Amino acid sequence: MAVQINPSILSADFSRLAEEAKAVEGADWLHVDVMDNHFVPNLTLGVPVVDALSRATDTPLDCHLMIEDPDRWAPAYVEAGAGSVTFHVEAAAAPVRLAREIRAKGARASMALKPATPIEPYEDLLPELDMLLIMTVEPGFGGQAFLDIMLPKIRRTRELIDRHGLELWLQVDGGVSESTIERCAEAGADVFVAGSAVYGAEDPAAAVAALRDRARAACAH
């Protein structure tokens, strides 16, 4: 299981996004939180900023759309340069069609589940996806405490992925830090979004490396 660390620019300095992206160039992806103040009670950034970021960094962009009507808006993020686009199943009208459209435009298709949304009803959708995101906090704000009650859900999701023999990445987002990443990895996650644990550190690049080392060690057990 290959461990990937995706720093979240939600915790970066928005006045220096190009420099903040360069500060974590050892990361696997740059996680971009798109919020519309409707699906979640916060407003962040949209297509123009993603387009600018994609030209400012060589790190591929992992766009997490916490927005209403992703069926309409998600394809524009692929066109803006995102290498992976995540939509919330709670907001998507036609998740299979949307996943296929994202893939057809050349990006990885990912589906996110809020903490209260179970994975089991979506088992048949898994082959349509490249990644599944289990939220380990309620989406909308950075800096929240990790929800330990999500660990069994991560385990169940990993079991479903393995049962179907899928090459599906399992991402966790919310409260991921050096003190929580090992539990997530042991439960079966392999892609880790970290915001304040990276951008709140004195050396963001070193924080990425430390997180990767802890997750790898946990996966090796």
Residues facing residue 86 across a β-bridge: 64, 110
Shortest CA distance to 176 belongs to which of 17, 6, 33, 2?
Answer: 6
Tokens describing residue 136: 């380990």
Structure tokens at 74: 């998600």
Active-site annotation holds for 69: no
3-state percent breakdown (helix, strand, coil) of the chain, nearest 5: 45, 20, 35
Q: Output the six-digit token pair for 31.
A: 């996680």
CA angle at residue 36 from 20 to 139, to 5 degrees? 75
33 is catalytic: yes
Say which of 33, 36, 62, 190 is annotated catalytic. 33
Marked catalytic residue, from 28, 62, 130, 173: 173
First CA to last CA distance, the chain: 12
Cα-flanking dihedrals φ and ψ of residue 196, to 5°? -65, -25
Structure tokens at 52: 């600018």
CA distances from 38 to 35, 113, 139, 186, 205 (A): 8, 17, 12, 34, 33
C-beta of residue 30 within 8 angstroms of C-beta of residue 62? yes
Catalytic positions are 33, 173
